Amino acid sequence: MSDDGFRNVFLTASDGLRLHLREYGERGGAGLPVVCLPGLTRTAADFHVLASALAHDPARPRRVLALDYRGRGLSAWDPDPSRYTVAVELADVLGVMAACQAMPAVLIGTSRGGLISLAMASVKPEAIAGVVLNDIGPVIEADGIARIKTYVGRAGQPTDFAQGAAALRRLFADQFPDWSDEDWRDMAYRAWRLENGQLLPTYDQAIAEALRAFDLSKPLPELWPQFDALAGVPVMVIRGGLSDLLSARTVAAMKARRPDLEVIEVPRQGHAPDLAGADVIARIAAFVDRCVRRPD
């Protein structure tokens, strides 16, 4: 266990690529494991506050796995950028869950992680005991994709973390208007890593190629069948009040389709909410506790 309260675990994907995850909490506990899946260019570090709270709750400790997809964080970069797809990443996630004996699990998926969760519901529903969709749903707004395309693959190389924090504030201040200097600094430490005296981005810049498949002149495909495949498990959706990727209209349609859907809106945060607020963490913890193991 590191001083930060987690273990670094390295596994090998089916094609030989090295994958990394953070493991919080004790192995072999009676409760359901929680698997945290980050956004497109994000890493396991985004879940540190939430994962620590869930794993080290003295009343109900839980085992939490937070993954780095291929090409992100401490996982190896893929020499073939065409493999940065939801399908390949889903196979990696399922492989990790199997190797870690973490099936079924409660999935917490931010953006890309939510898409992977929806895909898993279609191909291996028995692996899922519940899902938290963080700022993602069956309908993806084109405006949000257009904005993401403007910065993915263009992380730049600031000279220090203060300069990185300033660059992130310029890019995302409209999404997180209430963030403090400390918040932006913490995001900079997750967006770049120090290597040989230089700051390097924590994701493979070639991931931008995956966005070229989105033709914004045409309607984006909707994922209602995948959402409906979650009918057998509890589902929570979290929306940033300023989100341009998940609309309030889509959340209302999800609720109409699933009256038992639990909905949280995080005010004055955009895409995607950081899941670090005490109230949001408490509600996620209560949701996880309501999820039960599916019958064999």
Res 137 pLDDT > 80: yes
Confidence at residue 238, expressed as pLDDT on a 0 to 100 scale: 98
Cα dihedral: 277, 278, 282, 283 (round 10): -40
Give dist(CA 62, CA 30) in Å, integer.
Answer: 9
Contact between residue 8 and residue 44 where contact means Cβ atoms under 8 Å apart: no
| Mean pLDDT over each residue of the chain, to the nearest integer | 94
Higher pLDDT, 83 or 218: 83
Res 157 pLDDT > 90: no
Residue 151's pLDDT band (cuts 50, 70, 90):
confident
pLDDT tens-place string over residues 257-270? 999 999 999 999 99
Residue 220's pLDDT band (cuts 50, 70, 90):
confident
pLDDT tens-place string over residues 101-113? 999 999 999 999 9
Q: How far apart are the first and last CA of the chain?
A: 33
Res 26 pLDDT > 60: yes
Residue 39's pLDDT band (cuts 50, 70, 90):
very high
Please compute the mean of the pLDDT values over residues 228-253 and round it to a whole number: 98
Please compute the mean of the pLDDT values over residues 69-74 and round it to a whole number: 98
Confidence at residue 43, expressed as pLDDT on a 0 to 100 scale: 98
Residue 294's pLDDT band (cuts 50, 70, 90):
low
Residue 210's pLDDT band (cuts 50, 70, 90):
confident
Res 296 pLDDT > 70: no
Q: Is 179 exposed, middle or buried (0-12, 13-18, 19+ CB in 10 A)?
A: buried
Confidence at residue 256, expressed as pLDDT on a 0 to 100 scale: 98
Res 94 pLDDT > 60: yes
Higher pLDDT, 4 or 234: 234
Q: Distance between alpha carbon 129 and the CA centroid of its chain, in Å?
A: 17
Contact between residue 70 and residue 88 where contact means Cβ atoms under 8 Å apart: yes
Give dist(CA 42, CA 68) in Å, integer.
Answer: 8
Please compute the mean of the pLDDT values over residues 46-65 and round it to a whole number: 95
Residue 51's pLDDT band (cuts 50, 70, 90):
very high
Q: Which residues pair with 131 in a beta bridge?
A: 107, 235
> Model pTM?
0.96
Tokens 């730049």 belong to residue: 156
Reference 240, options 278, 271, 280, 263; nearest CA is: 271
Confidence at residue 153, expressed as pLDDT on a 0 to 100 scale: 75
